[in-house]
């Protein structure tokens, strides 16, 4: 192009879009670096004129490269680049199936100007899409865009070129046909040969939520093209088979969780020369008929079921009548047995009254014993609180049963923190591991009474001499031992204080 236009005109007039879905390929293309093998078909003059040599590579001129815009583009998902004069897509379409090729070519048709050209690869043809493009050079796969004109456009052109009376009559005729189509009782749309939605009647707009703004849009971009049924493949099938395609009882889910049933008819529209102009798609709501059929079927089933149940009920009634006669005889016998049973119940009632009086007496005795036990427990608690030494009672597994307040003050652990726990699991200032052997001897009965003194640390962190006495539990079914602990220094101080007090009383 630069050779034909000159570099200055090329930079001003030409814009090239280079697209791909592969970012890595785009990055490589942006560099515009070629090997000697890549440019060997070019003449030496062209290589020197348009490339700069870098080592063994050739780099395309930067001022011309700015006219090439690189970008990622998906042929199936992204909107086509419009107003193109030349669209080059070589060796790409052959990797897609026929339906996808049709969608891509429809986008190509939209992208090109009316005078635009399409350049494909040698292995690619447009036999199935002659309505969109016509060949210019079939050998080199160069095609020309076919302008999109439908029957209505032709009629309007004829109206503009005719005389006033003919024009008015033709315009009224077109308007009459439009009104008849728009007010038809069945939802109907028309898609032209290029896949563009060109007509929607009032029923279709209401049924599918369409508006006049959807006209001229590609049909494949509308939800209606694939929901409630895939219509794009059916349209292609109608074209291929050159006949109407009918679907019955197509299910459509409404927003209110209700089901709607539609009969769909896709009918190809042919011009006078038998070429296709598009398709007409009609949607007939048969929900009411389906519901009536289902209701009728349910009624028939209910009637059959009712007849069977009635026959079964008659048989059951006869059997029940015989059973009632037998039951009546059994009831007379049962009545006699009930009279006898009633007499027995009266006797049992008198016995229950006597038993109830005995239970009341026992309950009173239990209440008295409970009161006595409570007094004993209170008495025991008072004794433990009045003791000036710590008392801990353990069972045969060394688990703590009693822990008086003196021990709480000595070791800093409350009774609710230690009850039920093993004495040897306590983390206190007393070397409890040294007590295992003496406690084992006491529990086994080898020794009846043991006393000893240990160095210990009380809850305040002060070193003390701890007096400890171990005695097995006597006169009880529970096996265990009683441990008495005291701070020798504290006990000695208390005794000295008592002696001084006694001497003062004597002197007085």
Share of the chain above pLDDT 90, in %: 28
Instruction: Tell me which residue has tokens 């490589």.
Output: 28
Which residue, among 216, 225, 214, 186, has the nearest Cα to 202 in the 3D structure? 186
**pLDDT given for residue 367 in this prediction:** 86
Distance between CA atoms of residues 144 and 349, nearest Å: 113
Exposed / middle / buried, residue 34 (Cβ in 10 Å: 0-12, 13-18, 19+): middle
Exposure of 262 in the CB half-sphere (CA atoms within 13 A): 21
Query: How far is Cα 92 from Cα 363, in angstroms, rounded to an integer?
Result: 101
**CA 345, chain centre distance (Å):** 66
Residue 167 has pLDDT above 50, yes or no: no
- CB contact set of 243 (below 8 Å; sequence gap of 6+): 268
Question: End-to-end distance of the chain based on CA atoms, in angstroms?
Answer: 138
Sign of CA dihedral 110, 112, 116, 118: negative
pLDDT band at residue 387 using 50, 70 and 90 as cut-offs: low
pLDDT of 243 > 60? The answer is yes
* CA atoms 358, 362, 367, 368: torsion sign: positive
Is the Cα torsion angle 352, 355, 356, 357 positive or negative in sign?
Answer: positive
How far CA 150 is from CA of 166, 180, 191, 218, 270, in Å, comes to 21, 19, 10, 15, 11
pLDDT at 38: 94
Burial class (CB in 10 A: 0-12, 13-18, 19+), 222: middle
Mean per-residue pLDDT, 367-383: 77
How is 351-384 classified by DSSP, letter by letter? Answer: HHHHHHHHHHHHHHHHHHHHHHHHHHHHHHHHHH
Q: Distance between CA 191 and CA 194 in Å, rounded?
A: 8
Question: Is residue 284 very low, low, confident or very high in pLDDT (cuts 50, 70, 90)?
Answer: very high
Dump pLDDT digits (tens) for 463-480.
Answer: 988 989 998 876 656 688
Match 């003449």 to its residue by tokens. 43
For 447, counting Cβ atoms within 10 Å of its Cβ (0-12 exposed, 13-18 middle, 19+ buried), the class is: middle
* pLDDT at residue 442, as a whole number: 85
pLDDT band at 157 (very low <50, low <70, confident <90, very high): very low
Q: Can you tell me the mean pLDDT for 190-196?
A: 91
Task: Pick the more confident residue, 493 or 297.
Answer: 297
Mean pLDDT of 494-504: 66
Output the pLDDT for position 149. 47
* Longest alpha-carbon distance in the chain: 155
Domains of the chain: 2-150 (3.40.50.150), 183-285 (3.30.450.20), 293-384 (no CATH), 387-507 (3.30.450.20)
Read off the pLDDT of residues 3-14 as tens digits, 9 standing for 90 and up: 999 999 999 999
Q: How far apart are CA 331 and CA 24, in angstroms?
A: 97
Q: What is the per-residue pLDDT across 442-469, written as a single tens digit (0 to 9) for each?
A: 888 788 889 899 889 888 888 988 989 9
In whole angstroms, what is the distance from residue 291 CA to residue 261 CA? 9
Cβ proximity of 450 and 470 under 8 Å: yes
Confidence of residue 158 (pLDDT cuts 50, 70, 90): very low
Q: How far apart are CA 264 and CA 415, in angstroms?
A: 86
Res 309 pLDDT > 70: yes
> For residues 139 and 136, what is the distance between their CA atoms, to the nearest angstrom?
9
Report how far residue 152's alpha carbon sits from residue 296's, in angstroms, rounded to the nearest whole number: 46
What H or E segment, with its residue span, contains residue 71?
strand 68-72
The angle formed by the CA atoms of residues 440, 444 and 447, to the nearest 5 degrees, is 85
How far apart are alpha carbons 267 and 92 in whole angstroms? Answer: 32
Say whether pLDDT at 168 is over 60: no
Dist. CA 409–CA 7, nearest whole Å:
104
- At residue 160, the pLDDT reads 35
Report the chain's mean pLDDT, rounded to a whole number. Answer: 85
Which of 417, 421, 487, 425 is closest to 456 using CA atoms?
487
Q: What is the pLDDT of residue 72?
A: 93
The burial of 482, by beta-carbon neighbours within 10 Å (0-12 exposed, 13-18 middle, 19 or more buried), is given as middle
Mean pLDDT to the nearest integer, 378-388: 68
Please say if the pLDDT value at position 22 is more than 80.
yes
- CA–CA distances in Å: residue 209 to residues 198, 200, 254: 16, 11, 12
10 Å Cβ neighbour count for 485? 20
pTM: 0.34
Statement: residue 378 has pLDDT above 50: yes
State the Cα–Cα distance between residues 480 and 446, nearest whole angstrom: 13
- Percentage of the chain beyond pLDDT 70 is 89
Highest mean pLDDT among 67-71, 409-413, 430-434, 473-477: 67-71
Rounded Cα gap, residues 301 and 100, in angstroms: 48
Residue 495: per-residue pLDDT:
63
């Amino acid at each position: 192009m630069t050779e034909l236009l000159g570099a200055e005109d090329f930079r001003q007039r030409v814009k090239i879009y280079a697209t791909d879905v592969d970012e890595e390929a785009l990055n490589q293309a942006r560099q515009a670096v070629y090997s000697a093998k890549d440019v060997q078909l070019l003449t030496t003059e062209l290589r020197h004129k348009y490339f700069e040599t870098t080592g063994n590579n050739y780099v395309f001129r930067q001022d011309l490269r700015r006219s090439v815009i690189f970008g990622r583009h998906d042929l199936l998902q992204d909107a086509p680049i419009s107003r193109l004069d030349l669209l080059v897509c070589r060796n790409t379409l052959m990797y897609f199936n026929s339906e996808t090729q049709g969608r891509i070519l429809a986008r190509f048709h939209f992208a090109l100007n009316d005078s635009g050209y399409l350049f494909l690869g040698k292995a690619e043809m447009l036999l199935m899409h002659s309505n969109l493009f016509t060949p210019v050079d079939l050998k080199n796969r160069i095609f020309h865009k076919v302008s999109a004109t439908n029957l209505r456009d032709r009629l309007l052109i004829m109206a503009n070129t005719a005389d006033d009376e003919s024009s008015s009559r033709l315009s009224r005729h077109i308007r009459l046909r439009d009104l008849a189509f728009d007010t038809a009782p069945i939802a109907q749309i028309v898609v032209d040969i290029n896949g563009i939605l060109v007509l929607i009647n009032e029923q279709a707009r209401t049924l599918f939520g369409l508006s006049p703004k959807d006209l001229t849009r590609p049909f494949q971009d509308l939800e209606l093209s694939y929901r409630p049924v895939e219509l794009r493949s059916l349209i292609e099938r109608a074209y291929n088979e050159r006949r109407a395609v009918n679907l019955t009882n197509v299910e459509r889910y409404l927003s209110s969780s209700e089901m709607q049933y539609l009969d769909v008819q896709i009918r190809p529209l042919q011009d006078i020369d038998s070429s296709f102009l598009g398709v007409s798609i009609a949607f007939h709501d048969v929900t009411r008929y389906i519901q009536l059929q289902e209701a009728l079927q349910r009624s028939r089933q209910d009637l059959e079921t009712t007849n069977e149940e009635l026959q079964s009920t008659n048989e059951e009634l006869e059997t029940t009548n015989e059973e009632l006669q037998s039951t009546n005889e059994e009831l007379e016998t049962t009545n006699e047995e009930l009279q006898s049973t009633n007499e027995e119940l009266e006797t049992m009632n008198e016995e229950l009254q006597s038993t109830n009086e005995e239970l009341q007496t026992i309950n009173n005795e239990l209440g008295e014993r409970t009161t006595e036990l409570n007094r004993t427990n209170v008495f025991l608690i008072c004794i433990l609180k009045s003791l000036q030494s710590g008392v801990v009672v353990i069972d045969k597994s060394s688990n703590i049963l009693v822990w008086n307040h003196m021990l709480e003050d000595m070791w800093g652990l409350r009774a609710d923190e230690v009850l039920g726990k093993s004495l040897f699991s306590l983390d206190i200032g007393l070397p409890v591991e040294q007590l295992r052997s003496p406690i084992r001897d006491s529990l086994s009965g080898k020794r009846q009474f043991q006393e000893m003194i240990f160095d210990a640390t009380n809850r305040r962190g002060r070193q003390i001499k701890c007096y400890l006495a171990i005695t097995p539990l006597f006169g009880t079914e529970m096996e265990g031992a009683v441990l008495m602990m005291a701070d020798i220094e504290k006990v000695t101080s208390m005794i000295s204080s008592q002696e001084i007090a006694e001497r003062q009383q004597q002197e007085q």
